[in-house]
Structure 1
Amino acid sequence: MRNYSKTGGKKGMPGYRTPSSFQAKVFLAVKKIPKGETLTYMQVAKLIGNPKSYRAVGNALNKNCDPDVPCHRVIRSNGSVGGFNRGTNEKIKILKKEGAIK
């Protein structure tokens, strides 16, 4: 956490706010998803001990500004890619590059 300024922003990232405890749990879980693999929003919710909070997981990821959190590796339970703050096409492109989808 030494990279955080007194205002809660991550150095070099305008508008970044210190995540809530829930968001921090989500981000930590998502950081552990290996390249080339995906988890669903529901799986992430279960991993952090809040199995019914899968929509809140999506909201937390939508607000994420930290490039170290691979939000693109979280998809919908039906297998579709779901949303991404840089657009669905960009999410698909990254997942293909990582080998998670064909």
Structure 2
Amino acid sequence: MNSMNLKGTKLQLKVWNYLKKIPKGKVKTYLEVAKAIGKPKAFRAVANAVGKNPYPTKIPCHRVIRSDGSLGGYSGKGGIQQKRRLLRSEKVFIK
């Protein structure tokens, strides 16, 4: 589970490990991630965990968007514009 020597809370580790399973070219919402890890009411905590991703180039947090279909945030280098570029490179186009 901790192949990158990840350090975080139990929730963060669950979220980060789930993010690694989202296939290239697909997106999930924060709510979908929360439900998938068994914490359906914790979508805000999931969003915080996504934002604290220590390895945005290895753990694809750019594949998580808001329930309204908008991009949400991106804490990796390059910010929201980089998130948009990464998604476009995977043939995903978000408003």
Could you say which TM-score interval applies, normalised by the shorter chain? 0.7 to 0.9
Aligned to 2:49: 60
Identity rate, percent: 46
Aligned length: 90
One-letter amino acid of the counterpart of residue 82, structure 1: G
Superposed CA deviations along residues 7-37 of structure 1, whole A, max 9, x for unmatched, are xxx6xxxxxxx11111111011111000000
- Structure 2: runs of 5 or more not aligned: none
- Aligned-partner SS, 2:87: helix
- Structure 1: runs of 5 or more not aligned: 5-9, 11-17
Task: Give TM-score scaled by structure 2 length.
Answer: 0.87
Aligned to 1:35: 24
Superposed CA deviations along residues 41-72 of structure 1, whole A, max 9, x for unmatched, are 00000000000111111101111112321000
Task: Give TM-score scaled by structure 1 length.
Answer: 0.81
Distance 1:28 1:100 in 2: 22
Alignment of 1:10-89 (within 5 A): 18-66=7-55, 67-86=57-76, 87-89=79-81
The structure that has the greater radius of gyration is 1
Aligned to 1:92: 84
What is the CA distance between 1:3 and its match in structure 2?
Answer: 5.1
Change (3 A) 1:78 1:21: same
Change (3 A) 1:25 1:97: same
Distance 2:71 2:26 in 1: 12
